[in-house]
Structure 1
Amino acid sequence: MTATEKLATYIKANPNAFGKLVDLDPVHDKLYPLDLTISNTELTPELLADTAAFSAWVDGRLAVNNCRYAVGGYMEHRSVYNRSQLFNADGEPRRLHLGVDIWGPAGTPVYAPVAGTVHSFADNNNFGDYGPTIILQYQFTGFTLYSLYGHLSRESIEGLHEGMVIQKNQLIATFGDASENGSWPPHLHFQLMLDIGDANGDYPGVGYYSRRGEYDQNIPDPELVLNFANAIKA
């Protein structure tokens, strides 16, 4: 059973277990599906190298399409990571995005979709990295689930402590701006994991394409929690 299948089985038995991650009006809000693969010819190396220009491009996609947020990325093979040496180690470069990104204005509120505790947090302050990051832990019958929130504002990790109780739908963070979120256009990286080993305040959000089968066993599709599909602009 894959990680997605395991979580789907739990949600089927507990359909009201999860709440919201961001504010979203399912009737009126539309989500723009943001393609960050090599097939998107608008993503030139020059654009990606300039964070301000990259941010303006994302803002433009939202404005032109009249969408509140842009979303996408689960198991997407992306070209954008060549902008940072963080993903270009010797051997196979990391290009497979393991979570979902939600793109919107800096300061956008982020909520905990289910009750749990703070596992860990850190400011991963490198170019192209997460910046401020929170990992929450949830204990369900038969398995543990972790969620990672990356590219946050620095104030999001102030006042936290490991083991801190978090309630369902509690405001936990806000989107950071490019000066604090790893030099990215403002967005949230949201990722689910069944096992994070000894990770603390960090866990890879971009992996190796050759290890896709391994990731499928540990990293569920966040759409199971988000239920964004009906809001995505056709």
Structure 2
Amino acid sequence: MEKHSASIAKVVDFDVWKDQLLSLDFTASNTELTDEILDDTDLFSDWVNQKLISNGAKYGIGGYGEHRTIYSRSKHFNTAEEPRRLHLGVDIWAPAGTAVYNFYDAKVQSFANNNNFGDYGATIILEYNIDGFQFYALYGHLSLASLNGLEEGKYIPAGQKIAELGVKEENGYWPPHLHFQLIKNMEGLKGDYPGVCKFSERDQYLANCPDPNLILKSTFGK
């Protein structure tokens, strides 16, 4: 990816060297996020928006490898033995309707509407091959209209707009944002891949899901 960095296009309309970006912390150290806020998507969205406004930021960003408490808001992340809390992608927090682009020539691996509360909502997974290295990128929390016209194997050129961020009713009931995740091995899955794992499985999942800042070139990644 570094070798072909000049050929890698944008994922959203920001310039990490010029635009003001805000790193958002969703770990236990962020005591501002009370249960009252997390239990109400509108209050949660207002909190994110106020943080961006008060810091003069256009986008919020961050989260790779972050051990997050916010997933307690959804039973989707609970398991009998250990809850899933470790985030495997990078989130870009921006208004619903924000355009999302394909960063390199790709084809559609799969797509789905994962409509559980707290899930991805509308999701697109693209397949890439750079110098013989095959990998995938998952784009989650999209608008349902983003899935229109897609079919597995469809070619998507670099730079093409592929989606828009969805409203809460379409994105798994989250404040509008993009979950962007790189995946080496899809392990036979289509339309979905865990974006959050158990802390005890951290090493194996992070090995399969490289830092998306390789693509985003953001200075805010872990």
- Whether the TM-score (by the shorter chain) exceeds 0.5 is yes
2:113 match: 123
Amino acid at match of 2:145: E
1:19 match: 9
1:85 aligns with 2:84: no
CA deviations over 1:67-112 (Å, ceiling 9, x no partner): 1100011010000001000011211100000000000100000000
CA deviations over 1:156-176 (Å, ceiling 9, x no partner): 001100001001111000000
2:122 to 114, 132, 142: 132
Greater shift in the superposed pair: 88-97 or 12-21: 12-21
Q: CA deviation at 1:223?
A: 0.6
1:113 match: 103
CA RMSD of aligned residues (A): 1.1
- TM-score scaled by length of structure 1: 0.91
Change in CA separation of 1:14 and 1:107 when aligned onto 2, cut-off 3 Å: same
1:228 aligns with 2:202: no
Distance of 1:186 and 1:177 partners within structure 2: 6
Stretches (4+) displaced over 4 A: none
| Structure 1 SS opposite 2:193 | coil
The 5 Å alignment of 1:1-234 reads 11-26=1-16, 28-229=18-219
Distance of 2:200 and 2:146 partners within structure 1: 34
- What fraction of aligned residue pairs are identical, expressed as a percent? 54
Where does structure 1 lack aligned partners over 5 or more consecutive residues?
1-10
Q: CA deviation at 1:26?
A: 4.3
Say whether the 8 Å CA contact 2:88–2:206 is kept in structure 1: no
Amino acid at match of 2:37: L
Where does structure 2 lack aligned partners over 5 or more consecutive residues?
none
1:4 match: none
Q: CA deviation at 1:198?
A: 1.1
Q: CA deviation at 1:17?
A: 3.1
**Matched positions, count:** 220
Greater shift in the superposed pair: 96-105 or 25-34: 25-34
Distance of 1:216 and 1:17 partners within structure 2: 25
Amino acid at match of 1:38: A
Q: CA deviation at 1:27?
A: 5.1
Change in CA separation of 1:26 and 1:77 when aligned onto 2, cut-off 3 Å: closer
CA deviations over 1:13-35 (Å, ceiling 9, x no partner): 22323110000134541110000
